[in-house]
Structure 1
Amino acid sequence: MAAITLSGQPAPGGDTRAPALRRSLGRDGSMIRWAGGAAAVIPLLALGFVLVTLVIEALPAIRFNGLHFFTGTD
């Protein structure tokens, strides 16, 4: 049976790579930063898609009525 130590030091003859690997996987917060950035960009892309779609669908009406459609009171 393997010896268990609670001091954070590896057991004599133990492998010291496991704690270093665990530390490098997420201690610096890079995964959280990446996930937060993706979560911020996705709604912006969706908003851009909606705006482009609305402009494309409105082009025939703008061509028929001209820009007076936005500025006129008739």
Structure 2
Amino acid sequence: MDYNPTTNQIEIDAKKYYDKYGRIGASGDELKKYIINIYKTLMYRGIRGTYIYACNKSLQEYLKKHIETFKNPSNLEFYATMR
């Protein structure tokens, strides 16, 4: 998965998709929708948060614009004792 700032689009390289149980033979928009749906599902299921790591610098910047990052509260010890 990559972000192209010129076209302002998320792009998928099907050659780098290795899930043998995923969309076998899918390409283009179908594969893109499938992969994005996987990531959305994982992020929605994060009860106490989700860590997202992007190797690609342009994708990192895109995600930073659209996903709020964790702000360390000053009373973090309070949250830890409430569990």
TM-score of the pair, normalised by structure 2: 0.27
Select the structure that is richer in helix.
1
**Larger RCO (alpha carbons 8 Å, 6+ apart):** 2
User: Which is higher, the Rg of structure 1 or of structure 2?
Assistant: 1
TM-score of the pair, normalised by structure 1: 0.30
Select the structure that is richer in strand.
2
